[in-house]
Structure formats: C-alpha cells, structure tokens
A = this chain, B = another copy of it.
C-alpha cells in the first residue's frame, strides 16, 4: 500500500495539482488537496515543494504548456485554403464545449495574472501563440485585433449558459476578417 520508493513522485504531485485547479479552481489548491489527489501523505508535498507557490507555479506552467501545444496542433491541422472565420468559430465552440474545463482555468489564470506576477507567463504565452498563429494568415494589426477578439468571444462563450452557436460566432468574426 505505502509506496515507499517512487521516482516520479514529484511529477505525480504536479499532475494532481493540475487536476485540482482544473476541477475546482486556483483557490482550491492546498498542500492537502494536492496530496490527497496524488494519494501521498501531506509531508510529501512539502518535501518536494518548498512552498505552495512553488507547486502552483509548476502546475500553472504545465497547464500553459498544454494549452499552447493544443493551439499549435490546431493551427497545423488547418486545411491549406481554410476559411479562418469558419475555422475559428469552430475552435471556439470546441474550446467552450469539449475542453471547457481547461478553458475556464485559462481565463481564471488570466484574471489572476493581474495581481499575481507568477501567473503572468501563462496568459502571456497564450496570447503570443495566438498572435503568432494569426500572423501567418493576416497582417500584424489584424492579428492583434483577432487575438483580442478571440479571447473576448471565447470568454463570453464560457460565461454564458448553453452552447455557443458556431454560425453566430462566424458572423461576428467576419466583421473583422472579410
């Protein structure tokens, strides 16, 4: 039962922390919730992470990396002659639906980054990747506009009850892209 030797203990704790903040939010992460989730004793989390902030940083960094990776994959999977408005509207629907939990956490991080510099890298890397992706298709100013608009639309989709309508989103995006 007791896993006395566990070479991946540290990584497992980070993974547990990611699960906790994904499901229950940043405020829910404590040494105890992470330890319970990872099925390790309390002392283990304080041994591997000198402070709770250090654990939070590791978890947030992991989440940010995965978000950016997902975005990159999506961009690479786009058809060559794709209509950006259609594709982006579909991506928003996907992120607000199937990947809702991750997206909610992303915008919770957004809000938190305004007061906690440690979280800033996560939101910045997301914005930079968005702009980078868009700049391969449109000019720099439009890419910046699109990044801002994408974030605004995705947030609205997340905060509103019910599924967003892809057709509506597409129409709105066309105001900028057509």
Contacts and interface: CB of A to CB of B under 8 A. Distances in A.
B145 A172 contact: yes
User: How many copies altogether?
Assistant: 2
A148 B148 contact: yes
Contact of A108 (B25, B111, B172): B111
Given A104-B114, A107-B110, A175-B176, A148 B159 contact: no
Interface in A147-178: 147-153, 155-156, 158-159, 171-176
Dominant SS among interface residues on chain A: helix
23 contacts: A25-B115, A27-B27, A104-B114, A104-B115, A107-B110, A108-B112, A108-B114, A108-B115, A109-B111, A110-B155, A120-B159, A141-B174, A141-B175, A142-B175, A144-B172, A145-B172, A147-B152, A148-B148, A148-B149, A148-B156, A149-B152, A151-B152, A175-B176
